[in-house]
């Protein structure tokens, strides 16, 4: 009985930590979103306004800063060990920022190279002639490039987070999980955007 209780206790603790990790990741994603808005600004605070690849790299580095810092700090926070939190974040920051920048740059460059400007203009013209404000044909043109770009960014960003943890297992999990999440997010992005655009109209 004691052994069974021990197993259940371990499973409960693991489940509780997984829930804590999910909540921490969500908080980090919200922080990352607001940090990324700095780069989305058209004002003086925007980095590399003339270079799309570098600008996207900064944006992704800022988003990763929020998510990565929260996840790296999660174990120390769950143990209520503030010195451990500070040490983990300090050691992880270079990998998070550099990994985020590199993955964002590569993803944007790949995304841009996959798109044909003349084809985009033709599709936009057809949608305007039809009075199609949603222009799902344009979404279908963007979707494969966006999905692949986000998959690359997610995979590399997840790997960078694994490097920050100094764990081969977490590098592998970060690569697979980040790539899968980026792929799904990239495929769904335009459809979700259309839903909100239609509702707001």
Q: Please name the residue that has the structure tokens 């700095």.
A: 38
Average pLDDT over residues 95-111: 90
Residues 115-120 have a mean pLDDT of 89
pLDDT at 13: 62
Q: With 80 as the cut, is the pLDDT of residue 42 above it? A: no
Question: Of 89, 106, 88, 96, nearest to 162 (Cα)?
Answer: 96
Which residues 6+ apart lie within 8 Å of 109 measured at CB? 53
Q: Does pLDDT of 125 surpass 90?
A: yes
> Cα(93)–Cα(65) distance, rounded to whole angstroms?
8
Is the sign of the CA dihedral 33, 38, 39, 43 positive or negative?
A: positive
Question: Using 50, 70 and 90 to split pLDDT, how confident is the model at 106?
Answer: very high
Mean pLDDT of the chain: 82
């Amino acid at each position: 009985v004691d052994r069974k209780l021990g197993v259940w206790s371990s499973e409960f603790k693991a489940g509780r930590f997984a829930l804590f990790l999910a909540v921490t990741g969500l908080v980090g994603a919200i922080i990352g979103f607001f940090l990324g808005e700095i780069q989305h600004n058209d004002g003086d605070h925007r980095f590399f306004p003339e270079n799309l690849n570098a600008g996207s790299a900064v944006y992704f580095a800022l988003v990763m800063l929020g998510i990565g810092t929260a996840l790296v700090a999660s174990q120390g926070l769950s143990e209520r060990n503030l010195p451990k939190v500070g040490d983990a974040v300090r050691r992880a920051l270079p990998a998070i920022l550099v990994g985020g920048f590199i993955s964002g740059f590569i993803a944007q460059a790949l995304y841009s190279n996959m798109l044909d400007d003349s084809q985009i203009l033709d599709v936009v013209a057809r949608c305007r002639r039809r009075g199609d404000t949603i222009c799902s044909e344009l979404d279908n043109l963007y979707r494969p490039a966006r999905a692949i770009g986000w998959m690359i960014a997610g995979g590399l960003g997840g790997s960078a987070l694994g490097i920050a943890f100094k764990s081969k297992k977490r590098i592998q999990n970060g690569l697979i999980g980040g790539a899968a999440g980026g792929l799904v997010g990239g495929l769904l992005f335009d459809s979700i955007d259309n839903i909100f655009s239609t509702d707001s109209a």
